[in-house]
Amino acid sequence: MDQPSARPRPVRLLFSWRSWTILALLSVLSLVLAACGGGGSPTFTLSGYVRSANGATPIGGAQVAVPSVNTVATTNSNGWYQLVGLPRNSGNLSVVVTAANYEPVNQVITPPAGPSATQNFLLQPVNPGGSAGVAGTVTYTTDSWVMGASATRSWPPAASSTSMVRPTFAPPVSRPARHVTVELRPGASGVPFGSSDYVVQSMMEQVRDLLAGSGLPKLNYRVFPYMERLGRRLATIEVPAGMTAELLAQRLQSSNAVLRARPAQYVYPTSYPVRLPNDPSYSQQYQYNLLGMPQTWALQPDAGSERVAVIDTGVRFEHPDLRGNLLSGYDFVDNDSDPTDPGSDTTFSSHGTHVAGLISARTNNGFQVAGTAWYTSIIPFRSLQPSDRTPIEYTTEAIAAAASPQYHADVINLSLGVEGQPDPDTQQLFRDAINGAIAAGATVVAASGNDLSGQAPVSWPAAYQPVIAVGAIDQSKARAYFSNSGPELDVMAPGVNVLSTSWNKPANSYDPDRASGTSMATPIVSGIVALMRAAGLSPNQVSTVLAQTAMDIGQPGKDNETGYGVINPYLAVASASGAGPDQLWIGFVTPDGTPLSQAVHPSFTPTSQGNWSYSVTGVRAGSGFVFAWLDVNRDGQLDEGDYVGKYPQGSTPITIAAGQSISAPLTAGIFSGAGATAAGRSVDVQMVSQAQRLWEGLIKAIPAGKTRASAP
């Protein structure tokens, strides 16, 4: 019987289906890692050239080493090197380059994602005779730097250059208070602090109950609901005839509803109006050329996005050169929604209208005068009488209102000051209102005050530290004799014979007029702050930038008479784009453009020597200039509008010996070079050519790895 044929035996799989799935996933992962470089070589090659600092001379025989991995390469006669097998997965690597007669360079590099990277090195020659040093201060100005005879300014006009401006009224003398300030206890009538509405009626009920309980039910009073939102429930009560403020305060203080009662303190306008021959044109507004506003407007012509609160005597809404820039505000004197300035019966009738025009008169419209910040919106608040005092609560309420969501002012201008030294409670009222405004994002600018001797301290609220306190200078950048002084003073601005929008009530004329005082300097600063903010600076940056960019005058460094110096709008606005004063490059360069040092940045430390200082070490012996350059438009080139400085300022270089240290103070101004002749300006062509050569040498001295406009 035939045997049946054997059935074929099935082949047994060595892997289950789950195993095949895992294998497939591992294959895909392997491909992904390879695509990401994980499957490639764990090393890379670094190559490049080593040259001298001028970038043109190759250095042969230089050692390029990575000490952490014991890898060294030597450059050939062309300065070329190659390092092979550097690890890619061990983090950043430190590369050290050394060569005979050159300063060593140590630079950290990041391994590339690919198999190779290029890195060139520039080495500074070593002075075999020893190192020298150059150090000094840096002063920034808004003057043109490379100009001929026309660099001398034609301001002030001859008619006003020698005459001393006299005020038409003196600072107010102390008089008996006409009001009593009362702070009410919270919840005296069931009213909580910080209520979502302003609880005006409930606050008024508290005051009526207080007066009735004191036997004085018919006295006039005011409440301040905006300050109530900041935790201060305040009222002012008029003193009746036959009673002193001190007696009324004592009487009211006896009520359990009262936290404290005191005679009111007052604020007053800080301007000294003068009348000069009127020429309503931009060319007569000397402050703009003095501060370099034409250059500033080229960077940031307007601040249409900003809202500036003018807390003052009100404004004239019908003024032809303000219409269109005025928003709705409030009158805290008459307690209504119409902050129109009623005016005084003098030729200079509206302090607030003059202030508003300096901030934002309609500009570039072929009519009357220019404002500092074009197209900026003005929110007028009336808290002052045109020629009299008002209780400070009107002003603190206006500050609180300006920063509220209803008005949301970006800048608050206070061309006013408290008469005399305010008591601690008055100071605290200002602190509360100003702190609330700053917390809401506003920048507060205030006048330092006017005293005929100029010896009075900075007035409140300018004396409060977060406020930008402004003093006044004249046409020659000298401190005005009436400008108050003290350690609280921040910056100075033109405040003598300043032309702006005005109103002559007796003649019903809207012709521009001149006025003097820190009241005039303050709105110029407020307008510049609006430009700074519109350019991109945050509220927290404004004060610091104003201090660091100011043009130091008077005693070197910050001082009580001039603060940090004259406001520099050009450099302040440029700082918003990263071209601040700390970006200035400084080095020692020969007349033919050979660098004798590395370039450095200055540092800001206000001292008795100045605000900005620098120190260049490792200088090689030779003849040259200390040259400085700030790339304002950040294009990497020397062109008009950049900041430039040189020491010495003439055409003859200085000679520095090995081991010698010299002092070289720098004054940096706005470069006016190649385009100046075409623009019709007188220019020293040799100076322009020399500046170009020095600049070419300076950029060779910028340390490797730094851009021409980079900070350390």
More confident residue, 73 or 22: 73
- 599 token code pair: 């370039």
Average pLDDT over residues 318-328: 93
Whether 393 has a pLDDT exceeding 60, the answer reads yes
Answer yes or no: are the C-beta atoms of 492 and 482 closer than 8 Å: no
For position 688, what pLDDT does the model report? Answer: 73
For position 43, what pLDDT does the model report? Answer: 93
Catalytic residue numbers, as ranges: 312, 351, 519
Q: Which of 161-165, 261-265, 313-317, 548-552 has the lowest mean pLDDT?
A: 161-165
Which has the closest alpha carbon to 653: 585, 591, 588?
591
Predicted confidence (pLDDT) per residue in 204-261, tens digit: 999 999 999 999 888 999 999 888 888 899 999 999 988 999 999 999 999 999 999 9
Whether 78 has a pLDDT exceeding 90, the answer reads yes
Predicted confidence (pLDDT) per residue in 342-374, tens digit: 988 876 789 999 999 999 988 877 788 888 998
Length of the chain: 712
Whether 477 has a pLDDT exceeding 70, the answer reads yes
More confident residue, 220 or 15: 220
For position 282, what pLDDT does the model report? Answer: 67
What is the C-alpha separation between 119 and 122, in angstroms, rounded?
10
DSSP per-residue codes, 187-236? TTTSPPTT-SS--HHHHHHHHHHHHHHTT-TT--EEE-HHHHTTT--EEE
For position 612, what pLDDT does the model report? Answer: 92
For position 163, what pLDDT does the model report? Answer: 35
Q: How far apart are the first and last CA of the chain?
A: 102
For position 704, what pLDDT does the model report? Answer: 67
Average pLDDT over residues 657-678: 76
Predicted confidence (pLDDT) per residue in 427-445, tens digit: 999 999 999 999 999 999 9
Whether 465 has a pLDDT exceeding 80, the answer reads yes
Whether 606 has a pLDDT exceeding 90, the answer reads no
Per-residue pLDDT band for 130 (boundaries 50, 70, 90) equals very low
- The percent of residues in the chain predicted with pLDDT above 70, rounded, is 81
Per-residue pLDDT band for 453 (boundaries 50, 70, 90) equals low
CB atoms within 10 A of CB 539: 17
Whether 4 has a pLDDT exceeding 50, the answer reads no
Q: Is the bond leading into 156 cis (omega within 30 degrees of zero)?
A: yes
Average pLDDT over residues 89-105: 84
Whether 173 has a pLDDT exceeding 70, the answer reads no
For position 686, what pLDDT does the model report? Answer: 67
Q: Which of 99-103, 269-273, 546-550, 582-586 has the lowest mean pLDDT?
A: 269-273
> From the DSSP assignment, how many helices (H) and strands (E) are in the chain?
14, 34
Whether 538 has a pLDDT exceeding 50, the answer reads yes
Residue 390: φ, ψ to 5°: -140, 150
For position 475, what pLDDT does the model report? Answer: 93
Whether 572 has a pLDDT exceeding 90, the answer reads yes
For position 285, what pLDDT does the model report? Answer: 84
Predicted confidence (pLDDT) per residue in 148-166, tens digit: 322 322 223 333 333 334 3
Q: Which of 8-22, 273-287, 482-496 has the lowest mean pLDDT?
A: 8-22
479 vs 383, 462, 522, 555, CA distance in Å?
29, 17, 14, 11
For position 171, what pLDDT does the model report? Answer: 45
Cα 33 to the center of its chain, rounded Å: 51
For position 254, what pLDDT does the model report? Answer: 92
Whether 646 has a pLDDT exceeding 50, the answer reads yes
Which has the closest alpha carbon to 575: 600, 546, 603?
546
Q: If you average pLDDT over every residue of the chain, what do you get?
A: 82
Half-sphere exposure in the Cβ direction for 249 (13 Å, CA): 18
Residue 206: φ, ψ to 5°: -60, -45
What is the C-alpha separation between 229 and 433, in angstroms, rounded?
10
For position 10, what pLDDT does the model report? Answer: 37
More confident residue, 276 or 559: 559
For position 187, what pLDDT does the model report? Answer: 60
Answer yes or no: are the C-beta atoms of 338 and 331 closer than 8 Å: yes
| CA triple 117-118-122, angle to 5 deg | 145
For position 335, what pLDDT does the model report? Answer: 94
- 442 token code pair: 């506003």
Whether 24 has a pLDDT exceeding 80, the answer reads no
Whether 468 has a pLDDT exceeding 90, the answer reads yes
For position 684, what pLDDT does the model report? Answer: 54
Whether 313 has a pLDDT exceeding 90, the answer reads yes
More confident residue, 651 or 41: 651
